[in-house]
Structure 1
Amino acid sequence: MKAREPIERPAPLRAAVYQRVVDLVATGEVEPGQAVTEAELSRSLGVSRTPVREALLRLEAEGVLESAPARGFSLRPLSPAEAAELYPILGALERLAVSTSPPGTLDLAALRALDTELLAATDPVRRWHLDTAFHDTIVAACPNASLRAMIHALRVRVTRYELAYMRDGDRESHSAPLHARILTAFGEGDREAAADLIGRNWDGSHTMVLNWLEGGK
């Protein structure tokens, strides 16, 4: 595994290592079935093995990695069956997050700025980062920490599908029209409409990704 930029320390090391491993998985640097070991990651990231082990175990618990005796961990393959399970759950949870967020807690200016950047972006990885930030900004307004944690765990798993599809199947942003309507609903203070549109956004992604996985792209 190639050397990567060392993780800077005053940020909480455990969280920084976890996020770096998530990025490696999401961006395709770690491929399905590829062995991932504590030793390789600790060398490439320039950190001790303890936070790496914690990150790998967390990702195994979240359903992203699987472990095998004497092989360490490997990335689970993409599958239509898993996608069909994950997308409806994520859509329902984000709808709930929006509907239970107190009025005035959403950073609407930041959300609009992210959408503007997303519309202009063409690189799949950049678009993934911006789309993730768009949804994270929405979910951050929800006061329910347990709900936010559940959404985060699902987002990590769904991200692999989203980015793989963006790279291979989606040359244009299919969510742009819905994002515009979501922003309008938030701007008008209509959380019910915004929650419904968030759900429709994930439903659309689900359909397109599933068609792509099944060869109908």
Structure 2
Amino acid sequence: MTMPQHPVPDDPITRAEPLRAAVYARVVGLICSGDYEPGAAITEAALSRALNVSRTPVREALLRLEAEGVLQSALARGFTVRPLLRGETDELYPILAALESLAVTTAVPVSTATLDQLAATLAELEACTDPVRRWRLDTAWHSGIVAASGNGHLASMVTRIRTNLSRYELTYMREVRSRAAADREHREILAALGAGEGDRAAELLRDHWYGGMRLIQDWIKGRS
């Protein structure tokens, strides 16, 4: 029987890194890069060999991702990346919209340095055509807004939701390349932040995420 091929990380884990956190971060990176698509199997043995670590931290990472809703497991069948389900988007996108809106209202006024960095990331995002790179830039742009709030717990919650949604967004971006509307919405949000209009920026962010939810849901419906 042919064994499934498993992606190999570009940067092996060094012993100087905290092992549990490093393994978790590498597995998240593989999922968020699209190396493991929805429905793909993930095995402890293959990952432990690829990362050159024991199976214990790998299993801990996979169990954590299962608890976070990214993976699912079946008795004696290991783990798989959860499939795309419209009902899940109904739950996750409103949470993300609320969290990022809260971040904006606590981040304003945003420093000039942060605004400049957001503008630079957005310019790179608008010029990018590679779907995985676009997703990473989009994530970095939104993360920059959240980080400006100075709320570490809020940032961790947003990261967890974005990781869960990555399997939707990456698959969508691979199949639907037009992102002009999203780029325009980003510009409007950035303009509101630059003007110190926190409530306006929060409203635009909520609209942005709810609009993204509807696009994803229509796309899922069209694929079924």
TM-score of the two chains, using structure 1 as the length reference: 0.91
| Residues 3 and 43 in structure 1, CA contact (< 8 A), matched pair in contact too | no
Stretch of structure 1 that moved more, 75-84 or 96-105: 96-105
Could you tell me how far apart the structure 1 residues matched to 2:175 and 2:59 are?
A: 32
> What pairs up with 1:1-150 in 2 under 5 angstroms?
1-5=6-10, 6-101=12-107, 103-104=109-110, 107-150=114-157
Q: May I ask how many residue pairs the two structures share in their alignment?
A: 217
Question: What secondary structure does 2:222 align onto?
Answer: coil
Could you tell me how far apart the structure 2 residues matched to 1:211 and 1:73 are?
A: 28
The 1:9/1:188 distance shift into structure 2, 3 A limit, reads farther
Aligned twin of 1:191: 198
RMSD: 2.0
Aligned twin of 2:213: 206
Could you tell me how far apart the structure 2 residues matched to 1:212 and 1:191 are?
A: 31
Q: How far does residue 130 in structure 1 lie from its aligned partner after superposition?
A: 0.2
| Residues 9 and 26 in structure 2, CA contact (< 8 A), matched pair in contact too | no
Q: How far does residue 40 in structure 1 lie from its aligned partner after superposition?
A: 0.8
Q: Which amino acid aligns with 1:89?
A: I
Write out per-residue CA displacement over residues 193-213 of structure 1, whole angstroms, 9 at most, x where no aligned residue: 111111111111111111100
The 1:2/1:160 distance shift into structure 2, 3 A limit, reads closer
TM-score of the two chains, using structure 2 as the length reference: 0.88
Runs of 4 or more above 6 Å deviation = none
| Residues 108 and 193 in structure 2, CA contact (< 8 A), matched pair in contact too | no
Unaligned stretches of 5+ in structure 1? none
Q: How far does residue 99 in structure 1 lie from its aligned partner after superposition?
A: 1.1
Question: What secondary structure does 1:74 align onto?
Answer: strand
Question: What secondary structure does 1:29 align onto?
Answer: coil
The 1:26/1:39 distance shift into structure 2, 3 A limit, reads same
Could you tell me how far apart the structure 1 residues matched to 2:160 and 2:50 are?
A: 25
Could you tell me how far apart the structure 2 residues matched to 1:52 and 1:173 are?
A: 39
Stretch of structure 1 that moved more, 139-148 or 88-97: 139-148
